Amino acid sequence: MHCLPPQGETQTGRRGGHNRGVIIAPAIEAVPLIRRRLAELDDSPSDSVASGRRAAFWRAQSQAARLDRSIDDLRRYCLDSLKPRRFIDERDSDYLRGYREGFQLVLREVRELESEHR
């Protein structure tokens, strides 16, 4: 079972702390990257795929903005959001395709953030 650290702390118990040489970055560092993705959608035509992406970005941004979340927590949230849902045929929905694509883009940003901290 995963327990979250107290508000404003990383999983090691320190802000921006280290865990055996690995930096655990706060998820809030992803917020500007997610906002940039949202701004890119403002310049594109609105359709079901774009609406799905926008929803994924808003949800991911909401999770990232919580001070008690690490980048690893944000990654797990995105991966959980990408799990197939029962009784929903995602192949028939452009909105759900965009939703999945949005979380995949957030995961790409998370990987880039992690590589900066190594």
Least confident of 5-19, 40-54, 104-118: 5-19
Query: Would you give the DSSP letter of residue 83?
Result: S
At 12 the pLDDT is 41
CA distance 94 to 97: 5
Confidence band of 20 (pLDDT split at 50, 70, 90): low
Q: Which residues of 26-47 are buried (b: 16+ CB within 10 A; e: fewer)?
A: bbbbbbebbeebeeebeeeeee
Q: For the whole model, what pTM was predicted?
A: 0.76
Q: What is the mean pLDDT of the chain?
A: 81
Q: Could you tell me if residue 9 is inside a domain? A: no
Q: Could you tell me if residue 11 is inside a domain? A: no
Q: Could you tell me if residue 59 is inside a domain? A: yes
CA distance 57 to 11: 24
At 110 the pLDDT is 93
Owning domain of residue 108: 27-116
- Number of domains the chain contains: 1
